[in-house]
Chains A and B, each alone.
Chain A
């Protein structure tokens, strides 16, 4: 029986010049679930994540082979416009990077350039509410986004991404620069968001992966230093009955 996947990759490899950073990744991501990507530093998690919405187009020398299918369409196909891909697959970066504009404008800009026709004020409020930021900023929408704390900025970036209503949200260690409380808020937020969105998150935090995700992809480099997904399964299984010895070592902290 054919199942509907949010996005699926087929022998996807990513190269920086002659160096293959990620090799032969074939995974199927379930819609409206949270999928965590874990693995040691330098194994290609960020590289893989960026490849999913063609953010790596801007890295000189980076190219991709294999297939990446969104609703049966190869995102690396000839007639695909990367701008459209990024419109459908939003991204939240490791370091909060709000625009040097007002809080309001941070959300409105993306909507405006994408031709949003509804009421902007409503969209801003709704996005900020979904990102659990509304109560903290509702009185200072016209103030600089840079005046927010790191955790607030990160939630603003999430709100900005939600505002353009993508189908999938990619998050690269969104909580790595945040304190435990902000981290928890972002995790709660992800649970809320998953009702409407498919979320793929890179994390170094095993508890976070175990707590917050439904599926987990374990990445590891091979002897040529190319990263690959060595195990991909339900998070429960990865953390309780891993099939691969290396996964078991890693999730139990015995790695390296």
Chain B
């Protein structure tokens, strides 16, 4: 008789066992399939998003010149030099307009690209008749050409990328063809920089206090709950807060009046950056707390065991070992700060500004604001540059994150 078949063994044997095992495998397969489909759905949504953006950023454009370039110069457009352009502008612009340009930045000092843009914008005056998405342009090229030839016999049809090097370095313009994201990118970088400089030290400090120093009582648990909830507060609320506190109450500080800046109100980059800082603060605190919690107690005991004070333990062991985790939190914070729009509108981002931000007390605009602006315009060429700006935003996001990841890996030197 089989020894295993004794009366005390209540587990399925032989054939029965194989049945049970097969049933277990079936359940596992079902779940595995579900997880895989979840992943596929996520990937497809992401691809759709990227496709949608790219689709808008490239495609046919039909345009006419209001004034033919040959009216101004005999040189072919591609060969115009900086000096020639400066001369043309001086000759053909009204003296008032030329003076204004010269005041913003002396014409002689401007780059060839800059002058060329001015030339096309002010004198030749492009007139866009229509734009088409990338898919449309590729699939229905023939029809588009026929349509344009019929409707706008004088128009030129060109397949263009709205995302050009030029697009990155030119400031805002009222004509989509000549607009760029330079001001917005710089504004966004300033914003994120101020937000992180503000929130990272404060958030890390708060996390250290909560984890390592604060006694565990009802008061600290209320604070903890509050922080967790603050992370979920709608961003517009932070905008209101920023408006009330940084723009209004702290105006002397945020407008730079205290530092001798006179031509500014509280709606500065500094106010917006601080608002963003407050917005990402809970995120940073929570992440830093998790990172600090993950430092094993045995390490703290080791430090205390050789006579370290609490501060030495925190500074030399807890903090270095939680730094990678803290930096991960700041990556999340950075992404959030870069993408938020609503609070910036409330705090008072400028919608049209062509001057680079020169410091914390400048007026500002930011990429999401710019994108939002452009998508609300009726003309289709603005939608195309909005798509281009979205790509810039995504690339900026990725490169900032990559920097943070590199930084983290550097600190993550494992012993």
Q: A residues engaging B (CB < 8 A)? A: 53, 55, 58, 60, 83-84, 86-87, 90-93, 95, 97-102, 109-110, 113-114, 144-146, 157, 160-161, 163-164
Picked from A86, A90, A99, A113, the residue with its CB within 8 Å of the CB of B299 is: A99
Contacts of B415 in A (CB 8 A): 100-102, 144-146
Q: Is the Cβ of A110 less than 8 Å from the Cβ of B308?
A: yes
**Least Cβ distance of B412 to chain A in Å?**
11
Q: Is the Cβ of B216 less than 8 Å from the Cβ of A160?
A: no
Q: Is the Cβ of A99 less than 8 Å from the Cβ of B302?
A: yes
Q: Is the Cβ of B306 less than 8 Å from the Cβ of A160?
A: yes
Q: Is the Cβ of A161 less than 8 Å from the Cβ of B312?
A: no
23 A–B pairs (Cβ distance < 8 Å), ordered by A: A55-B301, A58-B300, A58-B301, A86-B305, A86-B306, A92-B305, A93-B298, A97-B302, A98-B302, A99-B299, A99-B303, A100-B414, A101-B415, A102-B415, A109-B316, A110-B307, A110-B308, A113-B307, A113-B312, A113-B316, A160-B302, A160-B306, A164-B307
Contacts of B302 in A (CB 8 A): 93, 97-99, 157, 160
Contacts of A83 in B (CB 8 A): 307-309
Question: How far does the alpha carbon of A157 sit from the alpha carbon of B308 in the complex, in Å?
Answer: 15
* B362 at interface, CB cutoff 8 A: no
Q: How many contacts A-B (CB < 8 Å)?
A: 68
Number of B interface residues in the complex (CB < 8 A):
20
**Least Cβ distance of A143 to chain B in Å?**
9
> What residue of chain A has the Cβ atom nearest to residue B303's Cβ?
A99
Q: Is the Cβ of A97 less than 8 Å from the Cβ of B307?
A: no
Picked from B216, B301, B308, the residue with its CB within 8 Å of the CB of A113 is: B308
* B90 at interface, CB cutoff 8 A: no
Q: Is the Cβ of A58 less than 8 Å from the Cβ of B306?
A: no
Picked from A55, A84, A102, A146, the residue with its CB within 8 Å of the CB of B305 is: A55
Question: How far does the alpha carbon of A38 sit from the alpha carbon of B230 in the complex, in Å?
Answer: 51
Task: Please report which residues of chain B, range 278-322, place their CB below 8 angstroms from some CB of chain A when the two chains form the complex.
Answer: 296, 298-309, 312, 316-317, 321
Picked from B296, B301, B307, the residue with its CB within 8 Å of the CB of A114 is: B307
Instruction: From known contacts A100-B321, A101-B415, A145-B415, infer whether A110 and B301 are also in contact, taking CB-CB under 8 Å.
Output: no
> What residue of chain B has the Cβ atom nearest to residue A101's Cβ?
B415
Instruction: From known contacts A101-B415, A145-B415, infer whether A93 and B306 are also in contact, taking CB-CB under 8 Å.
Output: no
